Structure 1
Amino acid sequence: MEFETCLKEIAYRTHNVKSFRFSKPRLFEYKPGQFMFITVKFNGERAKKHFTISSSPTEKEFIEFTKKLTGHRFSNALDALKVGDHIVIDAPYGRFTFEGEFKKIGMLSGGIGITPLRSICRYCTDKQLDTDIILLYGNNTERDIAFKEDLKKMQKSNRNLKVVLTISEASGGWEGYTGRIDAEMIEQEITDYQKRIFFTSGPPGMVRTMEEILKSLNVSSERIKTESFSGY
């Protein structure tokens, strides 16, 4: 269903990642992890792309999506949006969702692929669900970690949420993992991985690699949910 909405706020999540927060249309409902299509005008033409909703249904006053600024045509059109501008959204879509169906879940994410998992973690935290969640989140550098403080606050208030960060290029003072998510990290941080349903999201190559690693650990395909993010 299509809705027209107004941009309320823009926030930088990293040096090149922005969140666009819009007024939540009346009657608009969605599940954590779903996505929406965004239509914007660019040089007099309309362009339409899909983005995961990074807000949670528990955040009642707004709906938000988060985008890495790539310099592509559509990305530039979004970057040009100002508070007060109107856009059309077509939503909700997608089955990469979670509302408490499983007692234990594992999350494997890279880069901007964190957005649906942030929505799910926020939902579980706000609803005080007893689902045990372990999130492994990889990025190139510390400055690339989107929602870093948000995830830290959620972990502090939700005893069932564990967030593990890893970066490929560590600088002085970094105390987390260095390197990409691999089988050894999963075995060390998610010791009961055989008992969990996995949600993995990120760039297509990363998602394929995570699937292969999980299968090498004898996690069946039925227990792996995936969402790939292509850049534009």
Structure 2
Amino acid sequence: MEDKRKLLDQPLHGIYIPIALILFGTWIFSWSYMPYSIAFIAIVFSFRYYEAMKRRSSIDKNIWRDFELMDKTLIAPMTSIYRFKLNREDEILDIPTGHHLACCFIVDGKDEIRFYSPISNQFDAGFFDILVKHYERGKVTRRLAQVQVGQTVKFRGTVGTLNYSPGMAKEIGLIAGGTGITPILQVITRVITDLEDDTKLKLIYGNETERDILLKNEIDEIAAKYPNFDVHYTVTHPEPSWTGSKGYVTREMIEQYAPQISDDNMLFICGPPEMKRSLFAITQEMGWKKENIFCF
């Protein structure tokens, strides 16, 4: 059933029809009142325009806007979560699942742009979070690390080609490497917070060491609470006490921990470029169709 409660928020019902009725009524009653009607319409239209401008999204697809840093938290070696303030306390960053925000700094007179996937969910109001791994030679990450609480950073967006919808697959295999977990987390959050989405998710997450596994506690908590979500970890340089898989993500791991090859199932892959190229080739050799594989 169509929800009628927000009809007045639409231009047709909230502006055009009322204006037409006022002008028509004035014409029927007396032309002498037309200047007053026009003045009244101008006042009402200005107020509604002001309200609409206040409710507009903080993020613009084409215009760089400044966002104030509210907090930053070191969660792993050289990796932090940055929290940025939205324009309104009740605003929720509404972006398509698996899409990214563009971040810009001017470095040596040039615009340096990098893309980050927000990890905050659709219930987080007034802010958005991005997870960033810092690199010694990273032009943007070095500048981000220097930003202090209260200072601003330029963002715009969103950018992305994933068109996720509930039920687009029975099972989705999620393969992530390092900070490639961020858009994957968007997918996980979208599925587990939608009561009508019963998609089964199977995550294979690879990192260099156990300490590099980002948000492991949060991922393990999700796995414990949601029966339709499973996770398997692999690390390249394990400690003696490590009980998970060892080495890079392999064909054998995908065969064991990802969904079965089927037209009803999909694979989402995100990580370093070499990892994505390698796994895309491996999964096709296994029999996965191109249209059932999505690389971020």
TM-score scaled by length of structure 2: 0.71
Report the Cα offset of residue 175 of structure 1. 1.4
Counterpart of 1:159, as a letter, is P
Q: Secondary structure at the match of 1:193?
A: coil
Tell me the equivalent position of 2:96.
31
User: Which moves more between the two structures, 192-201 or 147-156?
Assistant: 192-201
Match of 1:213 among 278, 282, 286: 282
Whose strand fraction is larger, Structure 1's or Structure 2's?
A: 1
Greater relative contact order (Cα < 8 A, sep 6+): 1
Report the RMSD for the aligned CA atoms in angstroms. Answer: 2.1
Tell me the equivalent position of 1:50.
115
Q: Are 2:172 and 2:259, in contact at CA under 8 Å, matched by a contact in 1?
A: no
Q: Distance in 2 between matches of 1:209 and 1:57?
A: 33
- Classify 1:137/1:32 alpha carbon distance in 2 versus 1 (closer, same or farther; 3 Å): same
Tell me the equivalent position of 2:41.
none
Report the Cα offset of residue 191 of structure 1. 5.0
Unaligned runs of 5+ in 1: 228-232
Q: Distance in 2 between matches of 1:155 and 1:193?
A: 22
Q: Are 1:10 and 1:19, in contact at CA under 8 Å, matched by a contact in 2?
A: yes
Tell me the equivalent position of 2:212.
144
TM-score scaled by length of structure 1: 0.89
Tell me the equivalent position of 1:104.
171
Q: Secondary structure at the match of 2:284?
A: helix
- Classify 1:102/1:212 alpha carbon distance in 2 versus 1 (closer, same or farther; 3 Å): same
Tell me the equivalent position of 2:261.
193
1:223 has 2:288 as partner:
no
Q: Distance in 1 between matches of 2:163 and 2:241?
A: 36
Tell me the equivalent position of 1:166.
234
Q: Distance in 2 between matches of 1:120 and 1:59?
A: 16
Identity %: 24
Tell me the equivalent position of 1:90.
156
Q: Secondary structure at the match of 2:176?
A: strand
- Classify 1:190/1:47 alpha carbon distance in 2 versus 1 (closer, same or farther; 3 Å): closer
Q: Distance in 2 between matches of 1:41 and 1:205?
A: 28
1:9 has 2:71 as partner:
yes
Tell me the equivalent position of 2:182.
115
Structure of larger gyration radius: 2
Q: Distance in 2 between matches of 1:163 and 1:60?
A: 28
Counterpart of 2:77, as a letter, is H
Aligned length: 227
Where in structure 1 do 4 or more consecutive aligned residues deviate above 6 Å? none
Report the Cα offset of residue 42 of structure 1. 5.6
Unaligned runs of 5+ in 2: 1-59
Q: Are 2:174 and 2:267, in contact at CA under 8 Å, matched by a contact in 1?
A: yes
Whose helix fraction is larger, Structure 1's or Structure 2's?
A: 2
Counterpart of 1:16, as a letter, is M
Q: Distance in 1 between matches of 2:286 and 2:100?
A: 30
CA deviations on 1:90-138 (whole Å, 9 max, x unpaired) are: 0111023534232211111111111100121122222243110001010
- Classify 1:29/1:95 alpha carbon distance in 2 versus 1 (closer, same or farther; 3 Å): same
User: Which moves more between the two structures, 37-46 or 125-134?
Assistant: 37-46
